[in-house]
Chain A
Amino acid sequence: MRTAAAPAIRVGIGGPSLTRAALVLGVGALLLAIVLVAAVALGSVGVSLDDTARILGRRLLGLPLAQTWSPSAETIIFDLRLPRVLTAMLVGAGLGSAGTVFQAVLRNPMADPYLIGTAAGASLGAITGILAPMLLPTLAIGAGTAWLGIGLVQVLAFSGGLLTVMLVYSVARRGGTVHVVTLLLTGYAVSSILAAGVAMLMFLSGRALGAVFAWLMGSLAGASWTSLAFATPLVLLSFVLLMARWRRLNLLLLGDGAAAHLGVDVEREKLVLTGLATLATSAVVAISGTIGFVGLVVPHVLRLAIGPDHRLLLPSSVLFGASLLALADLGARLAGGIPVGIVTALIGAPFFLWLLRRARTPLMP
């Protein structure tokens, strides 16, 4: 009998070695820390790196540091820049992980977190939220301040994104199964209908067009501790539950049939994964608008760099997605406060083109 009782040769399974995982995630975390300090320190009002680090150390870590900085510096760092940088990181993390999951579930290289309706639904919700107070002044009482800690725009954007994906999913479902192509086309069709609504509202928006436009381009100018407090638990919950499903994400790469033969309840799994990724996407879109390219580029780049195994790919897409968007937002601020979506598109798209030409194999089968 040629059967091995105990492994004579190590075939090396069990995923990426601990050293490799630690290296990739360590580099990701270090980069994130550097970006955090740099992005908080840099801006139109100069605060020295030293003071920035001290303010952060005192306020975030509770270190007993003597106050050598002006109160206004502390306000700028802690109340304005820090929530904005953290929001950028949260949004980048959410889009990175959701993009990774959508690319696995839809097995489509063009898949990004917005593809099956999140963007269109959230946009329509947000614009309704921007315009409604002008048409119905009674709403302005709640909208200008906050409702449950967050604004009407965020609530409508979040629920618009979730509801649209639910609608797309149920329309695409035939006899208990959802075919990927049907799902993509349904998402496209429903998005087109909602985009018509968005265009109609923009046409009617008059003075508010600027605000509408800024939201559509994606902007972090409205970042605050309250919007962070709203989105952070949702993104975190989504990430933890997705991480626990890494094995099934890997199996889905083999195709529905093979995944089923390996014990995956494919239809249920696709529904759960889509739901979790949409939860994170809707939460971050609600606080930032539709920022493009992060959810598309980050998973592709990482898959080329570290391989397709989701137990490393998913946490990496969170770390590197966070750094990338914080850097892009820093660029947007330094360029005079343009919407960050312009920066991600201007830098992300050419980089993606370069990557497409350089890759020896197609990015996904």
Chain B
Amino acid sequence: MSTPRRDALLAVDGVHFDYGRRSVLRGAALRVERGELVALLGTNGSGKTTLLRLIAGTLTPDAGEVRFHGRAVVEWRRAALARHVAVLPQRLELPSGFHVAELVEMGRAPHATRLFGASAADEVAVERALIDADALELAHRSIDELSGGERQRVLVAMALAQEPELLLLDEPTLHLDVAHQLALLTTIGRLRRVRNLTVVAVLHDLGMAAAFAPRVAVLDQGRVVGEGSPATVLTPALVRRVFGVEIDEARTADGQRHLVLRPG
């Protein structure tokens, strides 16, 4: 179906999805323009990860539609979609025995033109991805010897090697300590500007989301209940209603707004 007006890069329209009897999404809607960074927030089980999978095309909506470039994601051929959309999962079991450059090269698979080797474009893309993800010095290391933070940088490099327009992140900071969480989100923010990436990230930390995402979308009971800048969306009232916790807003001397969780 064609819409006469210009479609957003990514459009989620009235999407329903259930796992058997458990209804997860009930009419979720979202629009993401080229170059945006949108954080998806919500409680456990609110459907954030499901929505991300529907956007990635690994799940098919029961009703409604997810469109990328104006075309339903489920109609895209997998290989074609992989040339435009990359996913950084929560956790990836990395197969033993590869070294980092080989793994990052796997990100080139959707663009592969050679039967066995790598093209010049592949070499440039892998190198660029390693540099941009701050992982160049890891190139020759075995992936079995990487620390958690290093693994995450390598996975970012692998996603970048795909040269995507849209990068989907599924709680990318879940297994990282605070310093590595900050480093990763800073990297993502920089890449968005340098590579003109569009980013949709499922995040669980409201403070991090407020600090890093220019736009947030809050999912509750299968719907997007709040969408916009963190300042307008993450109000104490909405956070109380959705997450069941009390927050205070604090402003630092330079005028930055921060969310502070009020204990019990």
Contacts A250-B106, A260-B58, A365-B95 known; A7 to B123 CB distance under 8 Å? yes
**Residues of A close to B179: CB separation below 8 A:** none
Q: Is the CB of B118 within 8 A of A14?
A: yes
B107-140 CB contacts (< 8 Å) to partner A = 107-110, 112, 115-118, 122-124, 126-128, 130-132, 136, 139-140
Which of B66-74, B79-87, B210-218, B234-242 lies at the interface with chain A?
B79-87
Q: Is the CB of A303 within 8 A of B97?
A: yes
Q: Is the CB of A12 within 8 A of B101?
A: yes
Residue of A nearest to B122 (CB): A13
Q: Is the CB of B140 within 8 A of A12?
A: yes
Which of A141-149, A214-222, A304-312 lies at the interface with chain B?
A304-312
Asked if A70 is at the interface (CB within 8 A of a chain B CB), the reply is no
Q: Is the CB of B109 within 8 A of A13?
A: no
A358 to chain B, nearest CB (A): 15
Asked if B194 is at the interface (CB within 8 A of a chain A CB), the reply is yes
Contacts A11-B136, A15-B116 known; A262 to B127 CB distance under 8 Å? no
**Residues of B close to A1: CB separation below 8 A:** 194
Q: Is the CB of A13 within 8 A of B118?
A: yes
**Residues of B close to A307: CB separation below 8 A:** 97-98
Contacts A3-B194, A15-B118, A365-B96 known; A262 to B162 CB distance under 8 Å? yes
A1-27 CB contacts (< 8 Å) to partner B = 1-9, 11-15
Complex: A260 Cα to B94 Cα, angstroms: 15
Complex: A244 Cα to B101 Cα, angstroms: 22
**Residues of A close to B92: CB separation below 8 A:** 254-255, 258
Q: Is the CB of A261 within 8 A of B56?
A: yes
Complex: A13 Cα to B122 Cα, angstroms: 8
B128 to chain A, nearest CB (A): 5
**Residues of A close to B101: CB separation below 8 A:** 11-13
B1 to chain A, nearest CB (A): 24
A270 to chain B, nearest CB (A): 13
Asked if B34 is at the interface (CB within 8 A of a chain A CB), the reply is no
B195-215 CB contacts (< 8 Å) to partner A = none
**Residues of B close to A6: CB separation below 8 A:** 124
Contacts A251-B109, A308-B96, A365-B96 known; A261 to B86 CB distance under 8 Å? yes
Q: Is the CB of A247 within 8 A of B112?
A: yes
Residue of A nearest to B93 (CB): A365
Asked if A342 is at the interface (CB within 8 A of a chain B CB), the reply is no
Asked if B78 is at the interface (CB within 8 A of a chain A CB), the reply is yes
Main secondary structure of the interface of A (DSSP, over half): loop
Asked if A364 is at the interface (CB within 8 A of a chain B CB), the reply is yes
Q: Is the CB of A309 within 8 A of B102?
A: yes
Asked if A265 is at the interface (CB within 8 A of a chain B CB), the reply is yes
Asked if A350 is at the interface (CB within 8 A of a chain B CB), the reply is no
Q: Is the CB of B96 within 8 A of A361?
A: yes
Q: Mark A262-286, 1 if CB is under 8 A from B, else 0.
A: 1111000000000000000000000
Q: Mark A237-265, 1 if CB is under 8 A from B, else 0.
A: 00000001011101101110110111111
Q: Is the CB of B82 within 8 A of A254?
A: no
**Residues of B close to A2: CB separation below 8 A:** 131-132, 194
Asked if B35 is at the interface (CB within 8 A of a chain A CB), the reply is no
Asked if B105 is at the interface (CB within 8 A of a chain A CB), the reply is yes
B163 to chain A, nearest CB (A): 12
Complex: A362 Cα to B104 Cα, angstroms: 23
Q: Mark A291-318, 1 if CB is under 8 A from B, else 0.
A: 0000000000001000111010000000
**Residues of A close to B97: CB separation below 8 A:** 303, 307-308
**Residues of B close to A257: CB separation below 8 A:** 58, 87, 89
Q: Is the CB of B144 within 8 A of A14?
A: no
Q: Is the CB of B106 within 8 A of A7?
A: no
A89 to chain B, nearest CB (A): 25
Q: Is the CB of A3 within 8 A of B82?
A: no
A301 to chain B, nearest CB (A): 13
Complex: A365 Cα to B95 Cα, angstroms: 6
Q: Is the CB of B81 within 8 A of A4?
A: no
Q: Is the CB of A253 within 8 A of B95?
A: yes
B210-252 CB contacts (< 8 Å) to partner A = none
**8 closest cross-chain pairs (CB), A and B:** A263-B82, A14-B118, A253-B95, A263-B110, A263-B79, A261-B87, A308-B97, A13-B105
* Given pairs A3-B128, A4-B128, A262-B106, 11 additional interface contacts (CB within 8 A): A5-B124, A11-B127, A11-B136, A13-B108, A261-B82, A263-B78, A263-B79, A263-B81, A264-B109, A307-B98, A308-B95
* A residues adjacent to B (C-beta < 8 A): 1-9, 11-15, 244, 246-248, 250-251, 253-255, 257-258, 260-265, 303, 307-309, 311, 361-362, 364-365
What would 11 A/B residue contacts be, using CB atoms closer than 8 Å?
Answer: A9-B136, A11-B123, A14-B122, A15-B117, A254-B92, A258-B87, A260-B56, A261-B89, A262-B162, A263-B78, A364-B95
